[in-house]
Protein backbone atom coordinates (compact mmCIF):
# COMPACT_ATOMS: atom_id res chain seq x y z
CA UNK A 1 0.00 0.00 0.00
CA UNK A 2 1.30 3.44 -0.92
CA UNK A 3 2.03 5.98 1.79
CA UNK A 4 1.46 9.63 0.92
CA UNK A 5 4.00 11.81 2.68
CA UNK A 6 4.60 15.54 2.96
CA UNK A 7 6.21 16.93 -0.18
CA UNK A 8 5.01 14.06 -2.37
CA UNK A 9 3.03 14.78 -5.50
CA UNK A 10 -0.57 13.92 -4.61
CA UNK A 11 -1.57 10.81 -6.57
CA UNK A 12 -3.75 11.65 -9.55
CA UNK A 13 -6.94 9.73 -10.32
CA UNK A 14 -10.20 9.80 -12.23
CA UNK A 15 -13.43 9.31 -10.32
CA UNK A 16 -17.18 9.73 -10.33
CA UNK A 17 -18.45 12.30 -7.86
CA UNK A 18 -21.74 13.77 -6.75
CA UNK A 19 -21.05 16.57 -9.25
CA UNK A 20 -19.87 14.47 -12.20
CA UNK A 21 -16.66 12.79 -13.32
CA UNK A 22 -13.34 14.46 -12.52
CA UNK A 23 -9.64 14.10 -13.20
CA UNK A 24 -8.20 15.11 -9.85
CA UNK A 25 -5.16 17.19 -10.86
CA UNK A 26 -7.10 18.83 -13.66
CA UNK A 27 -9.95 19.59 -11.24
CA UNK A 28 -7.56 21.23 -8.74
CA UNK A 29 -6.13 23.47 -11.47
CA UNK A 30 -4.30 26.47 -9.99
CA UNK A 31 -6.06 26.24 -6.64
CA UNK A 32 -5.18 24.82 -3.26
CA UNK A 33 -7.16 21.73 -2.30
CA UNK A 34 -8.47 19.96 0.79
CA UNK A 35 -9.28 16.27 0.25
CA UNK A 36 -10.99 14.64 3.23
CA UNK A 37 -12.39 11.14 3.63
CA UNK A 38 -15.39 9.68 5.41
CA UNK A 39 -16.01 6.13 6.66
CA UNK A 40 -19.41 5.90 4.94
CA UNK A 41 -22.50 7.86 3.97
CA UNK A 42 -25.20 8.58 6.55
CA UNK A 43 -22.74 8.62 9.44
CA UNK A 44 -23.55 11.19 12.14
CA UNK A 45 -20.19 12.90 12.72
CA UNK A 46 -19.49 13.15 8.99
CA UNK A 47 -22.91 14.68 8.42
CA UNK A 48 -21.94 17.54 10.74
CA UNK A 49 -18.53 17.86 9.05
CA UNK A 50 -19.88 18.14 5.52
CA UNK A 51 -22.44 20.66 6.71
CA UNK A 52 -19.70 22.69 8.38
CA UNK A 53 -17.59 22.71 5.22
CA UNK A 54 -20.59 23.88 3.19
CA UNK A 55 -21.18 26.71 5.65
CA UNK A 56 -17.46 27.61 5.62
CA UNK A 57 -17.24 27.45 1.84
CA UNK A 58 -16.93 31.25 1.36
CA UNK A 59 -13.83 31.17 3.60
CA UNK A 60 -12.27 28.46 1.45
CA UNK A 61 -13.14 30.35 -1.75
CA UNK A 62 -11.54 33.51 -0.34
CA UNK A 63 -8.30 31.55 0.05
CA UNK A 64 -8.48 29.94 -3.42
CA UNK A 65 -9.12 26.51 -1.88
CA UNK A 66 -11.22 23.79 -3.49
CA UNK A 67 -12.73 21.20 -1.15
CA UNK A 68 -13.56 17.62 -2.08
CA UNK A 69 -14.81 14.79 0.11
CA UNK A 70 -14.54 11.02 -0.35
CA UNK A 71 -16.74 8.18 0.84
CA UNK A 72 -16.73 4.51 -0.08
CA UNK A 73 -20.39 4.60 -1.12
CA UNK A 74 -21.76 5.36 -4.60
CA UNK A 75 -23.05 8.51 -6.24
CA UNK A 76 -26.73 7.65 -5.74
CA UNK A 77 -26.12 7.20 -2.03
CA UNK A 78 -24.12 10.45 -1.89
CA UNK A 79 -27.00 12.40 -3.43
CA UNK A 80 -29.47 11.04 -0.88
CA UNK A 81 -27.05 11.80 1.94
CA UNK A 82 -26.55 15.36 0.66
CA UNK A 83 -30.32 15.91 1.02
CA UNK A 84 -30.03 14.88 4.68
CA UNK A 85 -26.98 17.12 5.21
CA UNK A 86 -28.73 20.12 3.69
CA UNK A 87 -31.80 19.51 5.83
CA UNK A 88 -30.13 18.83 9.17
CA UNK A 89 -27.22 21.27 8.90
CA UNK A 90 -29.25 24.11 7.31
CA UNK A 91 -26.91 24.52 4.35
CA UNK A 92 -26.35 23.63 0.70
CA UNK A 93 -23.52 21.20 -0.05
CA UNK A 94 -21.79 22.86 -3.00
CA UNK A 95 -18.66 20.73 -3.38
CA UNK A 96 -18.17 17.21 -4.78
CA UNK A 97 -18.13 13.92 -2.87
CA UNK A 98 -16.06 11.21 -4.56
CA UNK A 99 -17.67 7.79 -5.00
CA UNK A 100 -14.99 5.25 -4.07
CA UNK A 101 -16.96 2.01 -3.89
CA UNK A 102 -13.97 -0.15 -4.83
CA UNK A 103 -11.77 1.72 -2.31
CA UNK A 104 -9.25 2.34 -5.07
CA UNK A 105 -8.60 5.96 -4.08
CA UNK A 106 -8.71 5.12 -0.37
CA UNK A 107 -5.93 2.58 -0.97
CA UNK A 108 -4.01 5.04 -3.16
CA UNK A 109 -4.00 7.60 -0.33
CA UNK A 110 -3.56 5.06 2.50
CA UNK A 111 -6.94 5.90 4.04
CA UNK A 112 -7.55 2.27 5.05
CA UNK A 113 -6.03 1.51 8.46
CA UNK A 114 -6.73 -2.16 9.25
CA UNK A 115 -6.17 -1.83 12.98
CA UNK A 116 -8.83 0.91 13.09
CA UNK A 117 -11.26 -0.75 10.64
CA UNK A 118 -10.81 -3.31 7.88
CA UNK A 119 -13.78 -2.00 5.89
CA UNK A 120 -14.01 1.77 6.39
CA UNK A 121 -11.67 4.66 5.70
CA UNK A 122 -10.33 6.63 8.63
CA UNK A 123 -10.98 10.38 8.68
CA UNK A 124 -8.00 11.51 6.62
CA UNK A 125 -7.23 15.07 5.56
CA UNK A 126 -4.80 16.15 2.85
CA UNK A 127 -3.97 19.76 2.00
CA UNK A 128 -2.53 20.00 -1.50
CA UNK A 129 -0.87 23.08 -3.01
CA UNK A 130 -1.38 24.34 -6.58
CA UNK A 131 1.80 22.50 -7.67
CA UNK A 132 -0.01 19.30 -6.52
CA UNK A 133 2.34 18.67 -3.58
CA UNK A 134 1.01 17.35 -0.27
CA UNK A 135 1.47 20.03 2.39
CA UNK A 136 -0.44 18.48 5.32
CA UNK A 137 -1.74 15.05 6.32
CA UNK A 138 -3.96 14.33 9.31
CA UNK A 139 -5.82 11.22 10.46
CA UNK A 140 -8.69 11.47 12.92
CA UNK A 141 -10.41 8.64 14.78
CA UNK A 142 -14.00 7.87 13.84
CA UNK A 143 -15.32 9.39 17.07
CA UNK A 144 -13.73 12.84 16.67
CA UNK A 145 -15.08 15.44 14.27
CA UNK A 146 -12.53 17.54 12.46
CA UNK A 147 -11.76 21.15 13.38
CA UNK A 148 -12.16 23.19 10.19
CA UNK A 149 -11.09 26.40 11.92
CA UNK A 150 -7.73 24.68 12.36
CA UNK A 151 -7.61 23.68 8.70
CA UNK A 152 -8.27 27.30 7.69
CA UNK A 153 -5.49 28.37 10.06
CA UNK A 154 -3.10 25.90 8.41
CA UNK A 155 -4.08 27.16 4.95
CA UNK A 156 -3.37 30.74 6.07
CA UNK A 157 0.03 29.65 7.41
CA UNK A 158 0.94 27.66 4.30
CA UNK A 159 -0.02 30.48 1.96
CA UNK A 160 1.89 33.01 4.05
CA UNK A 161 5.05 30.92 4.18
CA UNK A 162 4.80 30.17 0.45
CA UNK A 163 5.10 33.90 -0.29
CA UNK A 164 7.46 35.12 2.45
CA UNK A 165 10.55 33.74 4.20
CA UNK A 166 8.71 33.13 7.45
CA UNK A 167 7.26 30.37 9.60
CA UNK A 168 4.34 30.56 12.03
CA UNK A 169 4.77 29.88 15.77
CA UNK A 170 2.62 27.79 18.08
CA UNK A 171 -1.04 28.82 18.22
CA UNK A 172 -0.45 31.43 15.52
CA UNK A 173 -3.52 33.11 14.08
CA UNK A 174 -3.78 35.39 11.06
CA UNK A 175 -2.44 38.79 12.09
CA UNK A 176 -0.03 37.53 14.79
CA UNK A 177 3.73 37.92 14.68
CA UNK A 178 5.68 35.37 12.64
CA UNK A 179 9.13 33.79 12.80
CA UNK A 180 11.80 34.92 10.34
CA UNK A 181 13.31 31.96 8.52
CA UNK A 182 16.76 30.89 9.72
CA UNK A 183 17.92 31.11 6.10
CA UNK A 184 17.67 34.92 6.25
CA UNK A 185 20.89 36.58 7.37
CA UNK A 186 20.70 39.27 10.05
CA UNK A 187 22.06 41.89 7.67
CA UNK A 188 19.24 41.22 5.20
CA UNK A 189 16.37 41.48 7.68
CA UNK A 190 15.86 45.26 7.48
CA UNK A 191 15.38 45.13 3.72
CA UNK A 192 13.18 42.05 3.69
CA UNK A 193 11.14 42.90 6.79
CA UNK A 194 10.77 46.70 7.00
CA UNK A 195 8.19 46.41 9.82
CA UNK A 196 11.03 45.53 12.17
CA UNK A 197 12.50 42.53 13.96
CA UNK A 198 12.46 41.37 17.57
CA UNK A 199 15.49 39.18 18.34
CA UNK A 200 14.57 36.88 21.22
CA UNK A 201 17.46 34.50 20.57
CA UNK A 202 19.81 34.43 17.57
CA UNK A 203 17.70 31.58 16.19
CA UNK A 204 14.34 33.08 17.22
CA UNK A 205 13.59 36.33 15.39
CA UNK A 206 10.03 37.66 15.23
CA UNK A 207 8.44 40.18 12.89
CA UNK A 208 4.92 41.49 12.27
CA UNK A 209 3.04 39.51 9.64
CA UNK A 210 4.41 40.81 6.30
CA UNK A 211 1.10 40.92 4.40
CA UNK A 212 -0.88 42.80 7.05
> Which residues carry out catalysis?
46
What torsion do the CA atoms of 24, 27, 32, 35 make, to the nearest 10 degrees?
Answer: -40
Sheet with 32-38, strands from edge to edge, namely 20-23, 14-17, 97-99, 65-71, 32-38, 123-128, 134-140
197 phi/psi in degrees, rounded to 5: -145, 135
Give the containing element (helix H, strand E) for 59. helix 44-62
| DSSP per-residue codes, 76-92 | HHHHHHHHHHHHHHTS-
DSSP structural state of residue 184: S
What torsion do the CA atoms of 78, 84, 89, 92 make, to the nearest 10 degrees?
Answer: 60
- In this structure, the number of other CB atoms found within 10 A of the CB of residue 202 comes to 8
Amino acid sequence: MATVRLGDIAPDFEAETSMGKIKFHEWIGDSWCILFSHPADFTPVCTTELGTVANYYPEFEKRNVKVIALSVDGVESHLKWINDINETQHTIVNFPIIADEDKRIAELYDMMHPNASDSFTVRSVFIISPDKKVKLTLNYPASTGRNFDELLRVIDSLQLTANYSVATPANWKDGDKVVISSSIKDEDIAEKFPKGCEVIKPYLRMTPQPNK
